[in-house]
Amino acid sequence: MPDLIANIRDRWFHIASLSVLFLTILAVGLTGNYYFLAAPFGYLYFVLMGINWKTAYWIFLFTVPPSVQLFFAGGTASLSLPDQPIMWLFLALFIIMYVRNPRIIPEWWWRNPLVFIIILQFLWTIVSVIFSQMPFFSFKFLLVKTWLLVCYLVFPVWIFREKKDFVRGFFVLLIPMFLTIVIILAHHSMYHFAFHKIQRAITQLYYNHVDYSTVISMFFPILTVSCWPLIRKRHIFIKAVYFTVVAIFIVGIIFAYARAAVVALVFAAAIGVAMRMRLVNLVMPSFYALIIFFITLAAGNNRYINYRPDFDHTFMRRNFTDHIIATFRGTDMSSMERIYRWIAAVRMSKDRPITGYGPRSFYYYYKPYAVTSFRTWVSRNTEQSTTHNYFLYMLVEQGWPAMILYGIFMVVVFHQAQKIYHRFRDKFYRSVTMGLAMCIAAGFINNFFSELIETHKVAALFFIPVVLLVILDKKSRDEAAGLGVV
């Protein structure tokens, strides 16, 4: 009987394989579209998931950095290939696994404060979707958030178990990310690394230069802080390769021409120092106090009006040095456009303070709330971008509860990281903890000037480090209890 079942299974596998191959050839022949050639690879990956989904997950992580953006419907819809369809498969797999065994997720994962806050955030997202002014776009956002959390916050619990898994995960992300930097630098060199050509050099590998700079600046602390202990006792050739990779990352960050990425690395370094000195619990409250002070100062007697730009002289510079100078002079278009939208977001929030307008609704409602004296040449916003600040993004689209939860989460994540770092005696896990915390810190600053946490590449470098801290918290407690770590 088992032989009969095996024969039937093999027969259907051969029939299905030949059918996929035949239909692929037919589709390419009839349409001339070579994208159909990806179908056999997709089929083989689907089969692999049924045989060994853990191996499939490692392949999935490898595809995240080099995935390309394909736009449809005049640029209003997009699909990231190949990672996005793979995330759909893992979401379906998770549902099947959870239905079969609701206790498959370990209890220590549920009990961790970081996971608890993220679950609260997700539940509040559902509430904001229910009361959304744009239900269709908000529901799409909820679906994206769901498969991102499943792929990046849940599955790693079953994948990252030993030191070798952390090392493998590092290289699985590093190698393709490094290749994307090399490709983009090669393209950019054809334009003589011109500031105004960076967007063209990126091609379809990233949404824009902000997304690109955010990804590589977030990974940089892991590359330097977490990886160096593995390299320092290696052969001179290995060290040479390592420093070459680090140098290429630095060049990539410089020629990404994103100010936030540079500030993010400075803030990440500050978090690292504060963790070592057990002072990290002071960083985020101090940061919030400083922001509240400046907002109060600017709002008093409408002082912010005094900083309105000169419309005719506020434009995008073609040189990065001029761009930085214009930033300090208040004549840089991108900076002034941010303020234009920040003011609109604050004024919007007064009308729907609890549930917000709904995810992905800002663009459709903000212009009547904007102060026209802050208008710039790009205020028509043809690309339909949003607030350029994750706090305000949460506030205006999901209300005060969402923004407060995000603020609390950032305090707790660094507090937890510091405890884990000093609880560990294992040097490997100490360096990994430090690098992950600095990665999240870099992401925090980048998202203070944008809202990229729900994009697939930035989400990977935000939620995976978070869940790895959860795993390391468990390991550090086991080590402290004398159970040992692996």
- pLDDT over threshold 90, residue 218: yes
Q: Return the pLDDT at 411.
A: 97
Greatest alpha-carbon span in the chain: 84
Q: State the Cα angle at 86 between 45 and 140, rounded to 5°.
A: 155
Question: What φ, ψ does residue 481 adopt, rounded to 5°?
Answer: -85, 0
User: What is the tens place of the pLDDT at every residue in 142-186?
Assistant: 999 999 999 999 999 999 999 999 999 999 999 999 999 999 999
DSSP letters for 404-423: HHHHHHHHHHHHHHHHHHHH
User: What is the tens place of the pLDDT at every residue in 36-49?
Assistant: 666 677 778 888 88
User: What is the tens place of the pLDDT at every residue in 322-339?
Assistant: 445 445 444 556 777 788
Closest CA to 148 of 101, 206, 94: 94
User: Across the chain, what does the average pLDDT equal?
Assistant: 86
Expressed in angstroms, the distance from the first to the final Cα of the chain is 42
Output the pTM of the full model.
0.90
Question: Taking the domains of the chain in order of start, what are their residue ranges?
Answer: 1-50, 52-486
Q: Which region among 28-32, 252-256, 449-453 has the lowest average model confidence (pLDDT)?
A: 28-32
- pLDDT over threshold 80, residue 453: yes
Most confident of 15-19, 26-30, 233-237: 233-237
Residue 315 DSSP code: B
Q: Return the pLDDT at 147.
A: 96
- Stronger pLDDT, 423 or 43, i.e. the higher one: 423
Residue 319: other Cβ atoms inside 10 A: 13
